[in-house]
Chain A
Amino acid sequence: MSLALELYRSIPRYLAARAIGGRAPGLVAGPLAPIRLVNRRDPEPDRPGWARVRTRLSGICGSDLATLSGKSSFYFSPLVSLPFVPGHEIVGELVDEVDGMDAGTRVVLSPVLGCLARGLDPCAACSAGLTGRCDRVALGHVSPGLQTGYCRDTGGGWGRIFAAHRSQLHPVPDPMEDRVAVLVEPLSCAVHTAMRASVGPEAEVLVVGAGTIGALTILALRELTQAGRVTAVAKHGAQRDLARRLGATDVVEPGEAMNAIRRATGALKLRPERGPSFLLGGADVAIDCVGSKSSLDLSLRATAAGGRVVLSGIPVGGADLTPVWFRELEVAGAYTGGTEQVNGEARSAFDVAIELASAAPLEGLVGAVYPLRDWREAIDHALAAGRLGTLKVAFDPREG
């Protein structure tokens, strides 16, 4: 029995959060959140290959906040099993030993619950190492759940103990601090995004959003691709400083982004009678790391014909898809890291992420750490993180 934050089914809360959560974020972090602190039974891994892990740090991700504010799509409902403990950006230590890893090893978690974890014969995607595309995430001996942190049986990062399969665990090199290790999972997503973007040499890249995902994507683009100019769109001062530090050529505010791309690429800017302006010409690749209606619009409208738009953040706002047809754009989703082709060799996104994290200046990204009991403060802080100069907020369930 140990402490965990549990997301439970509550229709009234969901409806209320969806209706007014945007305008009153204070309520989302308080009475409206369908989340509660409970003493939960610890997951007991009874099959070989499973081990219990004690969470050291677990981050709060934008997708978690979207779930709490009722903005998450119903598409996910068969892919999760309520009540679950959220939290998929985790650095922890093994409680039990498992296949070649001793108890006490510090590990980061690759959260996808693919065929191997579910005790099934690997599907085509899992065989190719692209666990993010597993077709069996709602089957097997584990309850439906696309990842740890959405599954009833495994527990998640926002709890003291959770269960993980050996295929999900990656050891953390000793010199890496917890506060950097907790960023390995989002960094692996950023690595995957950078690869999905198929950035050509000296390409003009637009990264919309400079929160954690955007910032780490800029880092991945710089380290792993031959991108030319990288323009980052960031709303808040602290985000802008970080984007610059991690290698963005140019950092602009959202209102200025279209103009900046126009100037950089010599494109033509047109203004429709309704809706935002767009470019004829523009960036070669646009990566949307936010997922709101306005970021999606910007990404689609600032990309040159034949260009590629990568959706890295879950798109919760609908956008006008006309530019996709007219400019013959390629729209690609980037969900989570698997096996990537990096510089010609096949490597796991996690390994690449661990390598990048060891060298990059990522200290200070985790701006605040809260114990589980202060979850209201943590959620409230995370909802306003950009404005408060914090990039990532994390839980440390080890304290009281």
Chain B
Amino acid sequence: MGAWGDLREVARGWRWGRRTLVPRSALRHTPSRRRGQFPTGWARTPAAKAAREVLLAYGLRPLVRNETAPKIHGLENLDGLEGPVIFVSNHTSHLDASLILTSLPRKWREKTATGAAADYFFDTWWRSVGTALVYNAFPIDRTGRGRGTTDAARMLDEGWNLIVFPEGTRSQDGWVQRFRTGAARLAVQHRVPVVPIAIRGAYAAMPKGRNWPRPGRLPISVRFGRPLQPEEGQDHRSLTRRMFQAVAELFDEDSTTWFEAVARAERGETPAPSGPDGPRWLRAWEASRPLPRRGRRPAWRR
């Protein structure tokens, strides 16, 4: 038949460029495709790591700095800390992972992997490859039917830091939702410290529904907190509460001052990061309030 003939037969028979189909009578015997299963090991090879470093340092970081005005606080909390750690943060925007990765010092960044929703980021091969390459992402099954993630445990054992968003999804209104227990579970099982991060202003800059930051270089504050060590016999639920409290305190510190925040924390009066009680419009209104701009006014006013 000749090489071209064979190629044509295969291309037509397996519907290249389109989706392969299963014959009707074989449907019963074909396991349904499990979405979100994507091997990401290749993204942790030296070649991929080098490519990622270039992409993050010379691509993503300048881009984030150009489109928004991020300010990073609290990196001194990472001094003397031994990896691996789990970074947990509130989640309001697709900017969050980019902000965290580009804020981390290189030593931390090159050993960090991001947990990304399997059903969203790993549904097609090109999105999977992009996410894995740039963010060193691994799939997390958040439908509740799967096993959450098995990669995370293995990577912690291999010494990778993880970025996990315990809310499981971006907040609708900018305030912090209930934390799921997966991150705490991992921390307790593998006895790794948890570094809380609070990101304020990302919701105003690029909320859910937008894929590009709003114009105007809106300020965003990324604040790293003191690492939480899982105590002896601590169970994941109490660790989750500690994480939530830590993020709340960071929010408070960020919106007021450190001194006031510590005092309030002592008194147990840290305002809840889950936002004001009230109608939906009020919550969205308060969450999207732009942060006060510190530093010089931009020359061009928009």
Contact = CB atoms under 8 A, between A and B. Distances in A.
A373 interface: yes
A77 B119 CA distance: 32
A30 B145 contact: no
Interface in B253-281: none
Interface string B278-302: 0000000000000000000000000
Interface string B23-64: 010000000010100000000000000000000000000000
Contacts of A37: 123
A31 B123 CA distance: 12
B19 A24 contact: no
A8 to B, nearest CB: 10
B18 interface: yes
Contact of B18 (A31, A39, A384, A400): A384
B145 A25 contact: no
Contact of A376 (B19, B21, B119, B126): B19
B19 A377 contact: yes
A391 to B, nearest CB: 13
Contacts of B24: 367
Interface range on chain A: under 10, 10 to 19, 20 to 34, or 35 or more? 10 to 19
B17 A26 contact: yes
A2 to B, nearest CB: 13
Nearest to A25: B18
A380 B19 contact: yes
Interface in B134-160: 143, 145
Nearest to B169: A39
A29 interface: yes
B140 to A, nearest CB: 16
A31 B119 CA distance: 16
A37 B120 CA distance: 9
Contact of B124 (A30, A384, A388): A30
A26 B18 contact: yes
Interface in A363-400: 367, 373-374, 376-377, 380-381, 384, 388, 400
15 contacts: A24-B17, A26-B17, A26-B18, A27-B17, A30-B124, A31-B126, A37-B123, A373-B35, A373-B119, A376-B19, A376-B124, A377-B19, A377-B21, A380-B19, A400-B145
Interface of B: 17-19, 21, 24, 33, 35, 119, 123-124, 126, 143, 145, 169
